[in-house]
Amino acid sequence: MIGRIRTVLVANRGEIAVRVIRTCAELGIATVAVYSEADRESAAVRLADRAVRIGPGPAKRSYLHIPAIIEAARATGADAIHPGYGFLSENPDFAEVCEAEGFVFIGAPADVMSRLGDKSTARALMSAAGLPLLPGSHDPIDGVEAAQALADEIGYPVIIKAVAGGGGRGMRVVRHAAEFAVAWQETRAGAAAVFGDGRLYVERYLESARHVEVQILADTHGTVVHLGLRDCSLQRRHQKLVEESPAPGLSAELAERIGAAAVRGARAVGYVGAGTFEFLLAPDGEFYFMEVNCRLQVEHPVTEMVTGVDLVAEQVRIAAGERLTATAARPAGVAIECRINAEDPDREFAPAPGTLGECLLPGGPFVRVDTHIRTGYAVPPHYDSLLAKIIVWAPDRPAAIARMRRALAETTVRGPGVATTTEFLHDILDHPRFRAATHDTALIGTLTTRAAALT
């Protein structure tokens, strides 16, 4: 038990539900898993102390159905609700409902989440806090004419972003003025359909940039710390595939400036909980605020591996009103994470669900696997394609890369119709730009283009 928290309902599925359940068990806290019909035989259901079915497979009728989750919490006597990542984790309405119904929400305050979840508002707040921003609009833009005028003024390429976007969705890069109007209309329609909010803004698109982010923790007693930087530059369509900590190739002075900016931004908005400040790093060493994720990140294990801090445990303690036990510390060694997704790189990363006839995951010294899959597991078509995260630690970066190559070579996940990113990730680790830490967000797009040209 931590504070008044005796039982936590985990409002999520897959590997993150398993992750939260394990930490709660170590803290002496009981857990409740919620599950859709598609996840009836899931690992989270088996590991939790109790499990409650909340609906059929589609997420809108289960993991996004707030009344069903609240009723499950009420029926099982839960004291708190952990939202994991994705689904309702950054939904301020869900956080408010949890608090109104008497449950501790293990996440950022609803008002902070609401302000930072609106990307244009977040840009304005961070600008006021002194964080550097790329040229663009602070407020949503009304009409394609005004948007194009701004794009013409700041210069191409630009990126159109949905105010309510996140997780790599709701973005469109425009390289030429003639393409802008169509891109604007298509992005607006997509944002309205996906997020229920068609508002957009425009900013300068930074070519050859690196994507770096800062893990912060903040308690209710005014303490805010950062736990170093992660590099998340290896992406396809803004979706991360490989992450590492610390971000390689940065001077200690630059890394500390970026970390201090994140702490300054968190203090400016009264942030509480675990959060991530994301930045773009230009080739000239200048960095620019991008967004805040008011939740636990998929890639949080690399920070845990280099700091020894259990971020979920800190989340629970913060939510219970306790002081942070983690302190700002320089990372030790290097950690790398590879995401094993049920996607086919030879078909432009098309989803490839199916039943796993063989599932062999790696082990050995300093290898961690966060997963929910097993032999015989039927990968549902309803959700994100993430099957497992392989995380390794080593004293230095070359040793970490060698360990990850060995771990990926040990990995076998196959079944009828199932394809994964495993071999593609192995190839990325061998790429000379990755090994030299000169990679950027465009690298995987270049590789997939080349692969398509060869087929």
Same domain, 181 and 61: no
Q: What is the pTM of this model?
A: 0.92
Listed residues 204, 235, 251: the one ending a domain: 204
Q: What residue type is assigned to position 111 of the chain?
A: D
Look at the chain and report how many structural domains it folds into: 3
**Residues 22, 15 contacting (CB under 8 angstroms):** no
2 assigned to some structural domain: no
pLDDT tens digit string along 198-237? 999 999 998 889 999 999 999 999 999 999 999 999 998 7
Catalytic residue among 188, 295, 368, 403: 295
Judge if 437 and 317 occupy the same domain: yes
Query: CA 32 to CA 21: how far, in whole Å?
Result: 8
pLDDT value at residue 450: 40
Enter the tokens of residue 84.
């994991």
Distance CA 286, CA 266 (A): 20
Q: For residue 338, give the DSSP letter.
A: E
With respect to residue 56, please indicate whether it lies within any of the assigned structural domains: yes
Q: Do 183 and 303 sit in the same domain of this protein?
A: no
CA angle at residue 323 from 102 to 310, to 5 degrees?
A: 90
Structural domain includes residue 83:
yes
Residue 194 has pLDDT above 90, yes or no: no
pLDDT at 138 over 90: no
Measuring CA to CA, which residue among 315, 301, 307 is closest to residue 273? 315
277 in the same domain as 152: no
Residues 421 and 340 in one domain: yes
C-beta of residue 30 within 8 angstroms of C-beta of residue 82: no
Concatenating the DSSP letter of every residue in 266-301 gives HHHTT--EEEEEEEEE-TTS-EEEEEEE-S--TTHH
Same domain for 145 and 46?
no
pLDDT band at 448 (very low <50, low <70, confident <90, very high): low
Nearest alpha-carbon partner for 199 in 138, 157, 149: 138
What CATH number did the domain enclosing 155 receive? 3.30.1490.20
CATH classification of the domain holding 36: 3.40.50.20
Bridge partners (DSSP) listed for residue 216 = 226, 275
Q: Do residue 214 and residue 200 come from a single domain?
A: no
Looking up residue 263, the CATH number of its domain turns out to be 3.30.470.20
Range of the domain at 258: 210-453
Percent of the chain with pLDDT over 70: 97
Task: Give strand ranges (E) for 196-269.
Answer: 200-204, 210-218, 224-236, 239-245
* 34-38, 130-134, 263-267, 323-327: least confidently modelled range: 323-327
CA–CA gap between residue 303 and residue 262 (Å, rounded): 16
Q: What stretches of 48-179 show up as alpha helix (H) in DSSP?
A: 66-76, 92-100, 110-117, 119-128, 144-154
Query: What's the rounded mean pLDDT across residues 53-63?
Result: 97
pLDDT in tens, 347-372: 989 999 999 999 999 999 999 999 99
Q: Is residue 120 part of a domain?
A: no
Shared domain for 193 and 222, answered yes or no, is no
Do 296 and 409 lie in a common domain? yes
- Is the same domain home to 170 and 224? no
Work out the angle at residue 230's Cα, subtended by the Cα atoms of residues 84 and 369, and round it to the nearest 5 degrees: 55
28 lies in a domain?
yes
Q: Cα–Cα distance between 144 and 322 in angstroms, integer?
A: 49
Q: Is residue 333 domain-resident?
A: yes
Ordered strands of the 334-341 beta sheet: 287-293, 273-281, 210-218, 224-236, 239-245, 334-341, 386-394, 367-371
Kind of pairing between the strands at 287-293 and 273-281: antiparallel
- 295 is a catalytic site residue: yes
310-328 residue pLDDT tens: 999 999 999 999 999 988 7
Query: Same domain, yes or no, for 185 and 264?
Result: no
The reply to whether 355 and 276 lie within a common domain is yes
Which amino acid, 63?
Y
